Structure 1
Amino acid sequence: MTQNKDYHKQGEYAHYFVEKPAPLLEWLLDNVKGESKSKIKATLKGRGIKVNGKTITRFDYELKPGMKVAVSKTKRNNTFKSKYVKIVYEDQWLVIVEKNIGILSMAAGHSTLNVKTVLDDYFNQSKQHCQAHVVHRLDRDTSGLMIYAKDKRTALSLEEDWHHTVYDRRYVALVSGEMEEDDGTIENWLKDNRNYVTYSSPVDNGGKYAITHFHVLGRTTRHTLVEYKLETGRKNQIRVHSADMGHPVCGDIKYGNGDDPCHRLCLHAYVLCFVHPVTHERMEFETPIPTSFRKIMKDGK
């Protein structure tokens, strides 16, 4: 194994060449010397590992001979702790977080528990002269990846060109029943009624046109694990479209059928890829499918 040091603009990296195939974490533990197991895991979670120049956070990512692995020597920021929010990536312009269920994206009404406030407190404590700016939202009971800008200029850049900037945005959902089709697309018009419940129409009802692509990841006789890819980002789009197909998202008290095996809304934003509005780098993030979803599939319940 050959190794050389290089300097990356986000910190110093040690570079390695892969000689034998192996899952990423297993390979790191075998080949990165002088670092503890916990430090290596923290570096992987903190987006400090690149494979062939692409940032990878999946511990089971399969390495092949000839690939190049770069390991960051930059210390992670340990000043941020929250049971509702995990920082996945941060630079001077923006922050990527993984939101837990039970917390709003931003303040609404009398609710004080929201991601923006959590981040603003963190910025204040870490003496960063900035505030979190919301550029897109997730429902309170949807978990997953979100972008927050640190200044208005970056926020406006993301908002104004959102559909070109974000080139891959995928969700994973546990839905009720056994879905027959492996892949497909559902498209119609979505509009809110007077009670703020979103409903769909096959013809233009004055609402917004919505397109959702789906791909089945796994099935049991009672549930299906589905990947949803948004072509449009409308309010409650996945939840309404899933219900339209006769397979509502599990735990959905608004559009569901009472099937609630995980005691939560089983919808998670797990892939988020976009072009950085300032550096113009391709930023790619992926989080694991929630353990509770996988357990239902494994148990066949």
Structure 2
Amino acid sequence: MANFIRKGEWLEYHVSSTDQGKTIEEVCKTKLQLSGRMIQKLTRHRGIQINGKKSYLAYPLKKGDRLQIKIFEREDYGVEPEPIPLEVLYEDDHVLVANKPAGISVHPTEKNQRGTLAHAIAFYYQTKGLQTKVRHIHRLDKDTTGAILIAKHSLAQSILDKDLRERKISREYLAIVSGIPEPKQGTIDEPIGRDRHHPTRRRVSKTGDRAVTHYQVLETMNNEAALVKLYLDTGRTHQIRVHMSYIGHPLFGDSLYGGPLKGIQRQALHAAKLIFFHPFTKEKVEVEAPMPEDMVQLLSLIQPMATHGRVK
């Protein structure tokens, strides 16, 4: 983890020659990406130390100093831990990537709601002796599967939330759609807003928010279906489902947007790859989530009718 080491409740940063002469406050803002507000809060609670002792923000750092920030404090999970199976795709002291199954929400949206991914993560934390709030960085629809990013403390959340706003976090999706999109690679740039006639449905609307979806056909099955890779420039609710339906190729199993109701009990949509920059090392992290069994079975069901192979 380069110059960053966890020591109990503290994140320790080993000061290098490039930081020589800089103040604690400068390094906290540049290397640790602490906001001024977070620095003030930590200072009030004696959460910033140098070489194990309380110091002041204007202290000029020397090579070899150990700057310590108290960010791993014990806190409430935010939900009651529940023994729900959890597949972890990637994990370190700062982040966790889970593979969300179909049929569960990312977090509670109603009072006393149980059985969400957040409940499963809280239980996983509990088994690991970790007591911290469950902090999701982005969301997936209840019936969409795949990789989802979780921050394990408030500083990681702050950094990753900023990265998400600045589009430094990207997700690649796989979908099985009705028919064959033409052209086989393209961009859908159509605004999405609420459907006045349905409480949960969205639709393409001139008065909606801008939404941009890029797609590429990976494989075609006769004229019946295609396996499509997608990635988004924006993150509107139901964006992929709305856009693919709008161009006449709704997802299999997606009853809300007119998809064929055969071979799968949900919309055939999977977050297959998550790409982000580690909040501290800044290394590029790519995490892949294997295609779920119900989508594999759907492909095998349609596959015998295939007349075209994989699209190059």
Scaled by the length of structure 2, the TM-score of the pair is 0.66
**What is the alpha-carbon distance in structure 2 between the residues aligned to residue 174 and residue 222 of structure 1?**
10
Bigger strand fraction = 1
Q: Does residue 196 of structure 1 match 2:200?
A: yes
Give 1:287 deviation, angstroms.
2.4
Contact conserved, 1:165 with 1:276, CA < 8 A, in 2? no
Corresponding residue pairs, total: 221
> Does the CA contact (< 8 Å) of 1:165 and 1:274 recur in 2?
no
| 1:292 equivalent in alignment to 2:291 | no
Compute the displacement of 1:113 (Å): 1.1
Between the aligned partners of 1:117 and 1:289, the Cα distance in structure 2 is 23
- Given the superposition, is the C-alpha separation of residues 297 and 180 from structure 1 closer, same or farther in structure 2, using an over 3 Å criterion? farther
Give the match for residue 41 of structure 1.
none
Identity of aligned residues (%): 31
Change (3 A) 1:165 1:280: farther
Residues 134-283 of structure 1: pairs in structure 2 closer than 5 A: 134-164=136-166, 166-194=168-196, 195-201=199-205, 203=206, 205=207, 207-220=208-221, 221-283=223-285
Aligned to 2:109: 108
Secondary structure of the equivalent of 1:238?
helix
Deviation at 1:176, TM superposition (A): 1.1
Q: State the Cα distance separating 1:165 from its structure 2 match.
A: 5.8
Q: Which residue of 2 aligns with 1:73?
A: none
Residue identity opposite 2:173 in structure 1: Y
Distance in 2 (CA, whole Å) between partners of 1:249 and 1:257 is 5
Moved more, 91-100 or 156-165: 156-165
Task: Call closer, same or farther: CA 1:297–1:287 in 2, change over 3 Å.
Answer: farther
- Secondary structure of 1:120 counterpart: helix
Contact 1:130 1:151 (8 Å CA) reproduced: yes
Structure 2 CA distance for aligned equivalents of residues 258 and 111 of structure 1: 30
1:118, 1:81 → 2: CA distance? Answer: 6
Any unmatched runs of 5+ in structure 1?
Answer: 1-8, 11-79
User: How big is each residue's C-alpha offset from its partner over 1:149-191, in whole Å with a ceiling of 9 and x where there is no partner?
Assistant: 1112211221122144634311000011233321010011111
After superposition, give the CA deviation of every residue in 1:102-143 in whole Å (9 maximum; x if it has no partner). Answer: 111001214311111111111112211322201110011000
**How far 1:231 sits from its partner (Å)?**
1.0
CA contact (8 A) 2:255 2:261 kept: no
- Cα distance in structure 1, aligned partners of 2:125 and 2:213: 36
Shift of 1:286: 1.6
2:163–2:169 Cα contact (<8 Å) kept:
no
Alignment of 1:8-47 (within 5 A): none
Please report how far the alpha carbon of residue 95 of structure 1 lies from its aligned counterpart in structure 2 after TM superposition.
Answer: 0.4
Instruction: Tell me, in whole angstroms, the C-alpha distance in 1 between the residues paired with 2:176 and 2:246.
Output: 15
Contact 1:189 1:209 in 2 (8 A): yes
SS at match of 2:210: strand
Q: CA RMSD of the aligned region, Å?
A: 2.4
Instruction: Tell me, yes or no, if the aligned pair for 1:176 and 1:224 is still in contact at 8 Å.
Output: yes
Equivalence for 2:17: none
Once the two structures are TM-superposed, the CA of residue 297 in structure 1 deviates from its matched residue by 4.5
Which amino acid in 1 is paired with 2:193? K
Q: 2:119 corresponds to which residue?
A: 117
1:127 corresponds to = 129
Give 5+ residue unaligned stretches, structure 2: 6-81, 307-312
Letter in 2 for 1:273: I
| Contact in 1 for aligned 2:174/2:272 (Cα 8 Å) | yes
Contact 2:251 2:267 in 1 (8 A): yes
The CA deviation at 1:82 is 4.6
Q: Secondary structure at the match of 1:209?
A: coil
Q: For residues 92 and 209 of structure 2, what CA distance do their matches in structure 1 show?
A: 34
Secondary structure of 2:281's counterpart equals coil
